[in-house]
Structure 1
Amino acid sequence: MATQRKILVCIDGSDCSVNALEWYLGNLRKPDDKVMLLQVTSKGVGGMSLPIDAPVDVPQGSFDHIVTGSSSGNEDVYIAELRESYSGILEDYNCDPKTAVFENVNDSNPGSAICKFAKAQNINHIVIGTRGLGKIKRKILGSVSDHVIHNSNISVSIVPNSNPT
């Protein structure tokens, strides 16, 4: 009897992470997989959490949305909105969202947090999206997927962005 695979899909509300989840569900998923969806937020100024996909330029009117990812300015609401959004995607692919595990981790280094989480949870495979940055932008802005692929000791699927910047 084969053992159940534990698959970690990294989510952040971006099109890249939606693309990664859809790629996993359409190409890699097996019926008995245990799917874990991980959202990593970074502690920002004053201890507030920032989504890892927060833009570099912060429009004043969008500050609450950028700080928490939610127009309500509440991190718990943002996480609930993410869960609802990704649950809909799971349902679209006939995957019961009740069988998926949603996790949120606060860490200033998302790539490191993903690697630590995967190791602690005995994950068999990580699926993560990439923004499709060029070498220079990736060097300046950093790359979570680059960190994960170079620092994880398990297999990683990097799903390219369908609309690279």
Structure 2
Amino acid sequence: MEQVDRRVGVAVDFSACSQKALKWAVDNVVRDGDSLILVTVRPEGHYEEGEMQLWETTGSPLIPMSEFSDPIIMKKYGVKPDPETLDIVNTAAKQKQIVAVMKILWGDPREKICEAIDNIPLSCLVIGNRGLGKLKRAILGSVSNYVVNNGACPVTVVKNVDNEHH
């Protein structure tokens, strides 16, 4: 029981790549008793609601699984978790004694994921290497590379190679 309260972060954008990273994290990293924290970053938007503006700098509170499984609540955050992601998390929560929460941040994914590592704080982070469309990635540079170089915790990049599409 050397490390209590390990917080395993997974950067998710609800793409196939992030599902793969999440599945890998659950299979290889997450142990009984860990907290699993899904970190998702949305583009900055303008929110009418006061609470949203409040969170624009710090991100959302940690949202429990019961809430992030609820499409009505998530709509308020402007986030749509895909069924596969929810399924992976629900299954993991049943099989291992883990607490799963989601943290939503607004802004540049590279900076915000690094901030989340510090602020939550995360023990480690798993991220897919194919989060952004090609064009966007060329402009921004890869989010996963940036987080590996600047994140204040061990970062594992789960490579997503489409062998079947060649």
TM-score normalised according to structure 2 size: 0.68
Structure 1 residue 87: deviation in Å? 2.3
User: 1:29 and 2:11 equivalent?
Assistant: no
Given that residues 35 and 101 in structure 1 are in contact (C-alpha distance below 8 angstroms), is that contact kept between their aligned partners in structure 2?
yes
Which structure 2 segments of 5+ residues have no match?
48-73
Rounded Cα–Cα distance in structure 2 between residues aligned with 1:23 and 1:37: 13
SS in 1 for 2:26: helix
Contact 1:8 1:36 (C-alpha < 8 Å) held by counterparts: yes
2:119 equivalent in structure 1: 120
**Aligned ranges for residues 4-153 of structure 1 at < 5 Å?**
4-43=5-44, 47=46, 75-76=75-76, 79=79, 81-82=80-81, 85-93=84-92, 94-95=94-95, 99-107=99-107, 109-131=108-130, 138-153=137-152
Matched pairs, number: 136
Residues 116, 153 of structure 1: alpha-carbon distance in 2 compared, 3 angstrom cutoff: same
TM-score normalised by length of structure 1: 0.68
Amino acid at match of 1:103: K
Gap runs ≥5 in structure 1: 49-73
CA contact (8 A) 2:8 2:124 kept: yes
Relative to structure 1, the CA distance from residue 85 to residue 97 in structure 2 (aligned partners, 3 Å threshold; closer, same or farther) is: farther
2:50 maps to what in 1?
none
RMSD: 3.3
Deviation at 1:76, TM superposition (A): 2.9
Q: CA deviation at 1:26?
A: 1.1
AA aligned opposite 1:144: V
Q: Which residue of 2 aligns with 1:51?
A: none
Inter-CA distance 77–120: structure 2 relative to 1 (3 Å threshold)? closer
Identity of aligned residues (%): 30
